[in-house]
Amino acid sequence: MTDKLVMDGAAFEAALVRLADEIAAKTSPASGFTGRLALVGIRTRGVPLSQRVATLIEASTGERPDLGVLDITLYRDDLTAVAEQPIVGRTDLPFPVDDTWIVLVDDVLYTGRTVRAAITALIDFGRPRKIELLAMVDRGCRELPIHADYAGATLETTKTQTVHVHVTEQDGRDEVVLIG
């Protein structure tokens, strides 16, 4: 198998800045947006990505979006295939979900099944005004009709390839690697 560096640290940071700018523009008062904006990171790597995007939005607008953490373990449709005893993490949504514009944040969008589970989990907490998706990498190969509203990179991949998104907070570096 071959590893290909798709995005180094500088390109990774530039993508985060662009994503934050896109969200800030879409949810600015000038665009007609009113209400509450929240970024909800899907465990595991979606969490630090959401925190970093929120910090960038705050730096450019002066307003920090609400932040939440979503664990989708019990909502997966492949729960028994994941582990005999799955480890369930904590979900933390310290804001009212009802009528909030929520951007789900994940590292890789692939089949769409993780996002489907995240939407199902999120709706158990209330009725958001809108749900959008930010994926650091959209690698295609969808099995469900789900798309990224914001993507750091879009790659054409095959089902035999793997995409790894490394984040400094968990992996010591920011990068995207295509394997296979």
**Gyration radius of the chain's alpha carbons:** 16
Q: For 87, phi and psi rounded to 5 degrees?
A: -90, 120
Could you state, in order of their start, the residue ranges of all structural domains in the chain? 10-79+88-158
59 Cα distance to chain centroid = 20
Q: Give the whole-angstrom CA distance, residue 69 versus residue 89.
A: 9
- DSSP letter assigned to residue 44: T
Q: Give the whole-angstrom CA distance, residue 164 versus residue 180.
A: 11
Q: Structurally, what CATH architecture does the domain formed by 10-79+88-158 represent?
A: 3-Layer(aba) Sandwich (3.40)
| β pairing state of 3-7 and 175-179 | antiparallel
Lowest average pLDDT, out of 4-8, 56-60, 70-74, goes to: 70-74
Residue type, 39: L
Percent of the chain with pLDDT over 70: 94
Give tens-digit pLDDT for 85-102: 667 789 999 999 999 999
pLDDT score of 39: 99
Task: Please count the other Cβ atoms lying within 10 Å of the Cβ belonging to residue 88.
Answer: 11
Q: What is the pTM of this model?
A: 0.94
Give yes or no for residue 148 having a pLDDT over 60.
yes
pLDDT score of 151: 99
